[in-house]
Amino acid sequence: MWLNGGPGISSQVGNFISNGLLKISEHAIVTPNATDNTTTTTYNYTVMNNPRGSWADEATMIYVDQPIGTGFSYSKLNQTEVVEDFIVADFQYFMYSLYDMYPEFNERPLYIAGEGYAGKFATLFANTLAPIQDRKFNVTAVLIGNPNISPFAQRQVMSQSPLALNVIE
């Protein structure tokens, strides 16, 4: 399962830019206008198979837009949820519904992966699902990349990596 961060960034970004089957590339074409010294920019998009391969080559990938109101997710109330307890409850409801619809997922290893702010949600969701005994959520691992789990602490040490690598002085 893949979650994008933000909060509020659609996981379709991960699907179409990072690790999905297809890759969408944007190409900007800048055309100068000699009469008034301006330029016009048009954008062309190309859809192709991901040249690096996809996580879907090895596993069933599910891209979840969360919290509700992000990307293609919606509610009847047309609002985005911001209270963490409600976000967790919504996710838990989603997972029960998913496993009811696809019982073949029962007992399969479940990896919850995400980047950015999804580092908070991925661990939170895994901790919520792992102890549930009446369902076969086989939470195997949580993978987080570039996690935004402690912004204050992270900001205090951000400059240390480039300094240590001699990228900046």
Q: What crossing angle do the helices spanning 84-101 and 118-129 adopt, rounded to 10°?
A: 60
* Confidence category of residue 39, pLDDT binned at 50, 70, 90: very high
| pLDDT tens-digit readout, 44-97 | 998 888 888 888 888 899 999 888 888 888 777 766 667 788 888 999 999 999
* CATH match of 2-22+55-164 with 3.40.47.10: no
pLDDT (tens digit per residue) in 108-117: 999 999 888 8
* Residues with Cβ within 8 Å of residue 96, at least 6 apart in sequence: 135
Q: What is the pTM of this model?
A: 0.75
Domain extent listing, the chain: 2-22+55-164
What is the pLDDT at residue 79? 67
- pLDDT(152) > 80: no
Percent of the chain with pLDDT over 70: 92
